[in-house]
Amino acid sequence: MPNVKKHGTMIALALFLVLPAQAKKSFRILVEDNWPPYAYVKNNQPAGLTIDLIKAALRLGGADAKIQQVTYLRCMALTEPEGKEVACANTARNADLELKYTFPNSFLFRSRGLIVSSKDFIKANHKKFKKVSDLEYKMVALPSGFTFGKEFDQNSRILRYYTVNDMTSLRLVESGRVKFAAIDEMVLYYYLNHHPELKDVITPILELTNEPIYMQLSKTHVDSVELQDKFERGMVALKASPEYDHMLQKYLGKDIPVAKFK
């Protein structure tokens, strides 16, 4: 009589050797395409801190991220309840957005929003703009759909000039067509470093907010719960490792303290 137990073990081992390892689940994540150094296009490929963080978090959570870059407004629209995509970055979090999207507990990084103006304008009006309410009835350029904290966002007396991206906002201030722009601190430094002509023109004058930035998820997509679980576990592990600080330093610069961005 053959040894059934041994024979069965050999069959199982043979199947294990010939079958491929189970592939990790891959999630398509939408990321905006024009918010450097967080998310932008470099050599026709997705680049930036956000992309690196999402990929690393999902890797640690046992999944893969397939990044697809779109404009910010399209990124948001495609993950609304009637949209077809599961997740989008980069997004601030407020009561209005919580009605449309699900937010994980773990954020990607913190963003410090600023108001900037031209040095010549501020030199001539240095006493007039010390707080957010001083911007009332003044025109402020900012990309459409971006948020900059409750004090700014909910003040309807601040006039808004919506632009396609932050660089357009800065050029409007440079030209004098608009006196103010709202912009993230590190985005500002990125553009000042890559466009030295702006360094002699643009200066920060007010801090608006320092708030977490998230990858938000669809409330209705079939993969939302699984993606949130894997991302959450991975992001917690990433932030507990030296890799997280190294990623921040890589994009923020070696001389920028990372503590306020964590």
pLDDT band at 22 (very low <50, low <70, confident <90, very high): low
Answer whether 112's CB lies under 8 Å from 99's CB: no
Whether the model pTM is above 0.75: yes
Q: Which domains does the chain have, with CATH numbers?
A: 23-110+213-261 (3.40.190.10), 112-211 (3.40.190.10)
Q: Is the dihedral of CA 213, 93, 183, 122 positive or negative?
A: negative
Q: What is the pLDDT of residue 261?
A: 87
State which amino acid sits at residue 169: S
The answer for residues whose C-beta is within 8 angstroms of residue 194's C-beta and 6 or more apart is: none
Q: What is the pLDDT of residue 6?
A: 45
Q: What is the pLDDT of residue 15?
A: 41
Write the pLDDT tens digit of every residue in 140-190: 999 998 889 889 999 999 999 999 999 999 999 999 999 999 999 999 999
